[in-house]
A and B are shown apart, each in its own frame.
Chain A
């Protein structure tokens, strides 16, 4: 069924009985053309684009828990494409452009809110770095503008821009098309659209091993719900990429870390942009519900625990108050952590693995949410054609041997 204001009216008149399941809960079949392991945003998007772009509809998405329950449901919902290098800029801006049309394409309101994403400069060195950054973005064909201190003060009235501040604000830059999207809706929207195209989304189905053929190629998986065969398999299980790789017999250049985030109780509108302060490490925005959504740094030790260190939490709150002192009397409502795949250059891996017919989408580090459409699109491409999508060519495992890393963080001196 199509969602619309009219559908809501019909729903009201029918007492809700006109609504249909957003997706089925099918029993897995014995075999599919393609299996996607991981029912988060990237996995669901991959399945959707396999069906939509390539006509490959005999596809199942296998999800260990509930769909969208990994990092798709545990992030700070930021979308942006403010990258320095052309390789990254092309990939992430492609993603943002897909996001821009996605609510209508999927017929599911993802609440894409391009309210602008502002990076703060706290020193003259920051101003110089941001000039480089803005010019890079212009070269890459991406919207960006430098902001003066006064422009920032006008946009962010509660920000402490006084010269006495520990992190004084000297200026900054904005990507006007940056913003947020409703994270759960991205998973649900893709799930519903993929399901409508015939994709089986199988929840509570944990992959426990890989079946191999005579040439070492994967031919299927064993799962908590039985054996499922497939001609090709894509892994999109951020946080657990290494665990699956180990099951398939190879290693990845990945370490799993806990990444924390938190929200405050909801308040009336007080912050109408996404704000990042590279100097303090804080990044935050206000959700449509009114909660301040605040991102933290990584807990810098390997973890699969989905909970963060209290000391890191305190540091992030202190950083937030350094920028917005009046938030002191606001209350923390929820905190959580996701498990992120961190690779040395903070850029993704999308392409073949050492195992024939097994492909992977991983390594997004702390920034996978914004890349969901592009990650799905490019994984679907390689799964359908056997060849890497041109956008994904720079993002292969091979770069860790050749040294051709695409290290945005190091180049910008900024964490993702």
Chain B
């Protein structure tokens, strides 16, 4: 194979003293420190690196950076397995192990290449025209296996990622000479300047040439105090000029890595001004079999020579559609690589050259497995040229991606066939090649002027995009002339799209899949649309480009998620006394964003058995429960009572001090959104309990009403959930227990009333004691400073034996409240439930004044007698627990549902199942026998009106 190493000074980026061993498809190779995988493979003569997406054609290295469409590999194994890594960007490291993608058994011989024989049957979009009988699903699995490149890992990523925000004055993206000049000028003018460079070295394409001016600029940037981030690529410009960039911190694939490394870093940069200096991508020339291993971009061959000291072949032929090819040829020769001929596809005049020049076009590429020669159609007939390297130099496409993302417009430079920025974008100015400027002196002068102007907050001088010289129009090419190498889109495919009227540039992209691969069309989009323009006789500017969307280059999900993974993804909240519950046998479960005891199982008990025992203990003796997550707000101010009357279905302004009342909250659409107890602490201060899940939205809704609709009311709303723990004791012996624990006798049932709130204290710790009950038993909800929660649990628990008290968790709480028929918002209600559906019709009627959502209760839908209403259900078989979610219907499915079971438990008190349900016209149907269906099973039940126990509520009073 043709690749080999050149002598120094070629190879600016490698250290020839340091050999590095790696394996490719299981074979061992050696390279030098500093090599990319692509360079090392080329130096080892490996020209077949992967197989293409659709036709499984063998492919070699085509580019030298992120534009690479072909040379994709899977890196590593186990948890660090990484798919679809571009060989042109991956530095080699000792022990690196990579595999080719999309081929089996390997890129040399690939079974999938059979699809290549069928290529004529597989034009663009062929799958839209067949595979319809019997159904797509019959073909899909096979086609899916053929598609896709690498394989994803199966284990969690062991590495981590971080995110840093910066706010410099000036951000310069790109560390080629234009970016260096702009950054140095900005910093010298006093701006805090950040410079992003995609590679490890400054200077862009000058970094691997002996270029004193570039080296001087790099030194100037450092001297000026510019903050330099290397190996960092800006991938997106988002709203209000947020630039997001991605830094590779630890290269993939090194065999010797700690268990966890910082792999990548995400930079979020908000600069006052952004300068794009992102350069340009080389545009390939189109000819048949331009995908043969051994065909590559001329700029890539130059970089491999200069940066890595790798000659990609022994005898090159250059296909030129640009003056740049002449300089490229000269530089290749300077590296000692023979350039057998320069084939210029353009009519004259042409620059002078020492290379033998032919005028003509490629007729055919020879060599079955790799390039062995090329025949050129000239005015004097066909000419055969032997070569092992065919270089494509078709001019350049400015990297206008960031400019476009920032909202900048483009215009088309006819002579060079390139799109360039049409003036600056809002808050982003392009310099250098990405601005369409290619002459070094002009670029440097412009970049300096832009850097200095933006640093001084002056308007930036306009760019003078002059292009890179003349290029001949692109014409359709017969044979397998690939426009998009990764997705196997040929010139004929573009012609087919034109013929079938997929002529809009977006249709072209979507129908042929041009530019939709991992290279995002860096070397194909422009050629595709130029071809379409030719085929349809339109100017290229009229065809236009597809939208440039982020990311500019693929970004790992890990870097985007940053630290929002594992336990740090939506972190859970723990109870103030979490450890105390843990040491007392709690079984925890996640409820919303809280971790809470669901039960305290004893030896041999499962969750159900524990909950039954705990619930019964509350009914018979007393139970101790941690209710700390219950939502708590303090509403304070001279107009607090008036405000709460506007918020709640009920009236709260007539509460006496120390009194408490249950209230429902609606949204303006009349839907029940929260409930809870409101107590009056003083004339101007209320204690508001909300549901655990609802406290944030309730506080937000209160604030919105207060600030936006009722700004004249003098009220302050303070969320205090986290400040107050809540220890609840419930059961007939609740007070005995608390009295034993030393609580003030003034709290005794005879001296306080159900639904009252009393401020008390124990050992100097303030207690806010609410007599209320979600269990139907005598209940004390003791609120106290969160940091004393464990102390009070310990204090109360020490006296449990005296009353045979028990701890109880959420599951027992649910049993108790279901027995009592107390609704649970979001379980027994949904987004359609209104107060009249849950027994509050009279409460609404009694109140004369307006409140949030009231008018909605007067609409026809609210008056519908067929609404779903909350009722009780008793299974006809008392041993059955009706399944939650079972639907009540006149017959088995399919049928018209009349409602569904919302809560259902075995009641230990009654020794039978009890359930709540939302039922059509439910309150009128008491006593009716009906059937609930669950997954095909039928359950006979009777409608009853809850509660199932203690209908008079006598137990609440102790």
A interface residue numbers (CB < 8 A to B): 3-5, 7-9, 11-12, 15-17, 19-25, 65-69, 73, 86, 103-104, 107-115, 122-125, 128-136, 138-141, 146, 157-158, 160, 166, 168, 182, 184-185, 188-189, 203, 264-270, 286, 288-290, 305, 307, 309-310, 313-315, 317-322, 325-336, 344, 401-405, 407, 409-413
Interface size on B, residues (CB 8 A): 113
22 A-B residue pairs with CB within 8 Å: A16-B499, A19-B499, A20-B500, A104-B132, A111-B131, A131-B886, A132-B887, A138-B894, A139-B889, A158-B154, A182-B128, A267-B148, A269-B145, A305-B239, A310-B238, A314-B560, A329-B82, A329-B556, A331-B84, A335-B549, A402-B859, A410-B671
Give the residues in chain A near B900, CB-CB below 8 Å.
132, 135-136
A265 touches B856 (CB 8 A): no
Q: Which of B127-147 contact A (CB under 8 A)?
A: 127-133, 135-137, 140-141, 143-145, 147
The chain A residue with its CB closest to the CB of B554 is A331
- Cβ A139 vs Cβ B896 within 8 A: yes
A328 and B157 form a contact (CB under 8 A): yes
B357 on the A face (CB < 8 A): no
CB contacts under 8 Å to A, within B528-555, are 547, 549-551, 554-555
Min CB distance B20 to A, Å, is 22
Question: Which of A20, A110, A290, A331 sits near B556, CB closer than 8 Å?
Answer: A331
Q: Whose C-beta in chain A lies nearest to the C-beta of B590?
A: A123
Per-position 1/0 for B853-884, Cβ under 8 A of A? 00010011110000000000000000000011
Contact of A138 among B558, B560, B826, B893 (CB under 8 A): B893
Q: Are A321 and B506 in contact (CB under 8 A)?
A: no
Tell me if B225 is interfacial: C-beta within 8 Å of chain A. Answer: no
Q: How far is the CA of A21 from the CA of B504 in the complex (A)?
A: 13
Task: Give chain B residues whose Cβ lies under 8 Å from the Cβ of A128.
Answer: 827, 884-885
A8 touches B126 (CB 8 A): yes
Cβ 8 A contact of A266, one of B148, B550, B883: B148
**Set of chain B residues within 8 Å of A404, measured between Cβ atoms:** 860-861
Interface check B409, CB cutoff 8 A: no
Q: Cβ of B710 < 8 Å from any Cβ of A?
A: no
- Asked if B884 contacts A332 (CB within 8 A), the reply is no
Give complex CA distance A250, B564 in Å.
Answer: 44
Contacts A139-B889, A314-B560 given; does A329 touch B132 at CB 8 Å: no
Q: Which residues of A contact B79 (CB under 8 A)?
A: 326
Q: A16-B496, A267-B151 are in contact. Are A73 and B895 (CB under 8 A)?
A: no
Question: Which of B172-180, B457-465, B566-574 lies at the interface with chain A?
Answer: B566-574
Pairwise interchain contact A104-B133, C-beta atoms closer than 8 A: yes
- A330 and B885 contacting across the interface, CB-CB below 8 Å: no
Q: With A9-B121, A108-B128 in contact, do A328 and B557 touch (Cβ < 8 Å)?
A: yes
Residues of B within 8 A of A315 (CB): 564
Q: How many A-B residue pairs have CB under 8 A?
A: 333
Contact A19–B893 (Cβ < 8 Å): no
Does B392 belong to the interface (CB within 8 Å)?
Answer: no
Is the beta-carbon distance between A289 and B83 smaller than 8 angstroms?
no
Residue among A103, A313, A331 making CB contact with B132, cutoff 8 Å: A103
Query: Do B128 and A136 touch across chains, with their CB atoms under 8 A apart?
Result: no
Residues of the B chain whose Cβ atoms lie less than 8 Å from the Cβ of A136: 887, 897, 900
B28 at the interface (CB under 8 A from A): no
Give Cα distance in the complex from A12 to B123, angstroms. 8
CB-CB under 8 A for A264 and B557, given A330-B83, A410-B671: yes
Given contacts A4-B130, A109-B127, contact A265 B565 (CB under 8 A): no
B518 contacts A265, C-beta separation under 8 Å: yes
Chain B residues within CB distance 8 Å of chain A: 53, 79-84, 120-121, 123, 126-133, 135-137, 140-141, 143-145, 147-157, 159, 236, 238-239, 242, 244, 268, 492, 495-496, 499-504, 506-507, 510-511, 513, 516-518, 520, 547, 549-551, 554-558, 560-562, 564-567, 569-570, 572, 589-591, 669-671, 826-827, 830-832, 856, 859-862, 883-887, 889, 893-897, 900, 933-936
Q: Is B129 a contact partner of A269 (Cβ separation < 8 A)?
A: no
Whether B933 and A24, one on each chain, are in contact in the complex, defined by CB atoms closer than 8 angstroms, is: no
Q: Are A134 and B885 in contact (CB under 8 A)?
A: yes
A203 near B504 (CB under 8 angstroms)?
A: yes
In the A-B complex, list the 8 residue pairs whose CB atoms are closest, starting with the nearest.
Answer: A410-B831, A290-B148, A131-B885, A328-B157, A403-B861, A403-B859, A132-B885, A331-B554
| Assembled-state Cα–Cα distance A286/B236 (Å) | 24
Are the CB atoms of B887 and A329 closer together than 8 Å? no
Given contacts A19-B496, A103-B136, 20 further A-B contacts (CB under 8 A): A3-B132, A15-B492, A109-B130, A139-B887, A160-B156, A265-B518, A269-B148, A288-B143, A310-B242, A314-B561, A317-B557, A321-B557, A321-B569, A328-B556, A329-B82, A329-B556, A331-B518, A336-B549, A410-B671, A413-B831
Q: How far is the CA of A411 from the CA of B833 in the complex (A)?
A: 9
Name the B residues within 8 Å of A407 (CB-CB).
831-832
Smallest beta-carbon distance A277→chain B, Å:
12
Residues of B within 8 A of A182 (CB): 128
Chain A residues closer than 8 Å to B933, beta-carbon distance: 135, 138-139
Once the chains bind, are B238 and A307 in contact (CB under 8 Å)?
yes
Q: Please, how many angstroms separate the alpha-carbon atoms of A17 and B141 in the complex?
A: 31
Q: State which of A123, A267, A305, A402 has its C-beta within 8 Å of the C-beta of B83.
A: A267
What is the CB-to-nearest-CB distance from B226 to chain A, in angstroms, rounded to a whole number? 25
Q: Given A86-B896, A403-B670, does the pair A326, B832 have CB atoms closer than 8 Å?
A: no
Docked-complex contact A409 and B831, CB < 8 angstroms:
yes
List chain A residues, Cβ under 8 A from B504.
65-66, 69, 203
Structural contact, B884 and A131, CB atoms closer than 8 A: yes
Knowing A104-B132, A269-B144 touch, does A125 contact B827 (C-beta < 8 A)?
Answer: yes
Which residues does chain A contribute within 8 Å of B565, judged by CB atoms? 318, 321-322, 325, 328
From B128, B517, B589, B831, A185 is in contact (CB under 8 Å) with: B128
Contact A132–B884 (Cβ < 8 Å)? yes
Contact B561 A318 (CB under 8 A): yes
Closest to B830 in A: A411
Query: Is the CB–CB distance between A335 and B551 below 8 Å?
Result: yes
Which of chain B's residues have a CB closer than 8 A to the CB of A268?
A: 145, 148-152
Contact B883 A131 (CB under 8 A): yes
Partner of B557, one of A20, A270, A331: A331
A3 engages B889 (CB within 8 Å): no
Chain B residues whose C-beta falls within 8 Å of the C-beta of A410 in the assembled complex: 671, 830-832
Q: How far is the CA of A139 from the CA of B85 in the complex (A)?
A: 50
Chain A residues contacting B499 (CB-CB under 8 Å) are 16-17, 19-21
Say whether, besides A288-B140, A320-B557, A330-B83, A166 and B570 are in contact (CB < 8 Å): yes
A69 nearest CB across to chain B (Å): 6
Bound-complex Cα distance A118 to B557 (A)? 23
Q: Roughly how many angstroms separate A185 CA and B861 CA in the complex, as a whole number?
A: 41
Q: In the complex, which of the residues A66, A103, A135, A315 has the most CB atoms of chain B within 10 Å of its own CB atom? A: A135
Expressed in whole angstroms, the minimum distance between the Cβ of A147 and any Cβ of chain B is: 12
Q: Is the pair A86, B827 in contact by a Cβ cutoff of 8 Å? A: no
Q: How far is the CA of A410 from the CA of B825 in the complex (A)?
A: 12
CB-CB under 8 A from B153, the residues of chain A are 326, 329
Interfacial chain A residues near B80, Cβ < 8 Å: 329
Given A19-B499, A109-B129, A401-B859, A146–B935 Cβ distance below 8 Å? yes
Instruction: Contact check, A411 vs B572: say whether CB atoms are below 8 A apart.
Output: no
Contacts of B827 in A (CB 8 A): 125, 128
Q: Select from chain A the residue with minimum beta-carbon distance to B493.
A: A16
> Which residues from A are CB-within-8-Å of B885?
128-135
In Å, the complex CA distance between A25 and B950 comes to: 76
